[in-house]
Every structure is written in structure tokens, then in C-alpha cells.
Amino acid sequence: MFIAALISLVIIRTTKMPLEISTYIFLMSALFGSVLPDADHKSTRVGKVIPLWLFFKHRTVTHSIIIILLMVLVTKINYYVGYGLFIGVSSHILSDLFTVNGCPFFYPLSKEKQRLGKIKTGGKDERKIVIIVGALLIILSGIYALDFVKYLGDRSYIN
Ligand SMILES: [Zn+2]
């Protein structure tokens, strides 16, 4: 979720998305997308709301390229929702690919799990990543707060 938030904020800033409702929809969709793949596990919060675990085994379809492509299709319905979900879901799968367990990225074509790293969930390395991403988020949020103050200042100048 932190990684999705960080990626989304970087995208919003670098593509100069306006401070409009569509940008917030993009951000919220990214945050939601970042937890969505784990709806395939009944002990997760998202799994209690959206019980995908009734239909799929843990770390199968919802952790594969299929769900990423599905989110690309959602952009055809609503661009900002689809784009946000795409960023969120992709960042989740990418993060899981770096864990010891990995993900069956090409499921159902191949059930073999791919791995890009050996990070243990809840381990020392994961904590380090959370601290780094958290620090970057705080810095970026600070930059955003300044942007917002400037935005409000510019608006009051026009009015
Ligand atoms: Zn997962």
C-alpha cells in the first residue's frame, strides 16, 4: 500500500495531474488496488469485504498478469479508476514477487511461482523497505502540502 501511494504521488506530480476529483479518484483507486489481490485470502481485511477467496486460491489469479490486464480494461470504462487500480495491483504483485513465496505471475498458463527476491514477509528486510518508503512518502507529502498552500494562494489571488 505504501509503495502504491508513493508511485501514485510521483505520477501525480510528474504528470502534473490537476488538484481535481479525478486525481483523488486515481489515488484512492491505487490504494484500493494495492490491497485487492489479497482478497483471495479470508484472513485479510479486504477478503472480508470482497471474498475472492471463495473463487480463487491464495496467490493465483489475483496475483497474476490476468488481473493486471483486467485493470487495463477497466481504464476503458473509467480512465482514472482503471489507471489507479493498475498501479495498485501491479505494485502489490511486484512486491509479492520480491518475497520468498513469490507469485505465479503467468497463472493459469503456468503454476510455477516467480521470484525476484528473497524478502521474508514481516522480516528485517521488509521493515527496512517500509521505513525507506515511509520516509519518501513523508517527504513527498510535505512537497504536496506546499503545492496545496501555493494552489490556495494562487486561487485567492485570482479571486
Ligand atoms: Zn499478495
Cβ atoms within 10 A of the Cβ of 92, count?
24
Average pLDDT over residues 36-55: 95
What separation in Å is there between the alpha carbon of 62 and the centre of ligand 1?
8
Q: What percent of the chain has pLDDT over 90?
A: 57
The mean predicted confidence, pLDDT, of the chain is 90
Neighbours of ion ligand 1 (CB under 5 A): 37-38, 96
DSSP string, 85-149: HHHHHHHHHHHHHTBSS-B-TTTTT--PPB-S--BPTTSHHHHHHHHHHHHHHHHHHHHHHHHHH
Alpha-carbon distance of 122 to 88, in angstroms, equals 20
Q: How confident is the model at residue 93 (pLDDT cuts 50, 70, 90)?
A: very high
Please say whether the beta carbons of 112 and 55 come within 8 A.
no
> Which residue from 76, 77, 63 is spatially nearest to 33, judged by alpha carbons?
63
What is the structure's pLDDT at 157? 64
- The domain spans of the chain are 2-158
pLDDT score of 147 more than 60: yes
What separation in Å is there between the alpha carbon of 126 and the centre of ligand 1?
14
What separation in Å is there between the alpha carbon of 94 and the centre of ligand 1?
9
Specify the pTM.
0.83
What is the structure's pLDDT at 59? 92
pLDDT score of 104 more than 80: yes
What separation in Å is there between the alpha carbon of 80 and the centre of ligand 1?
23
3-class secondary structure, 103: strand
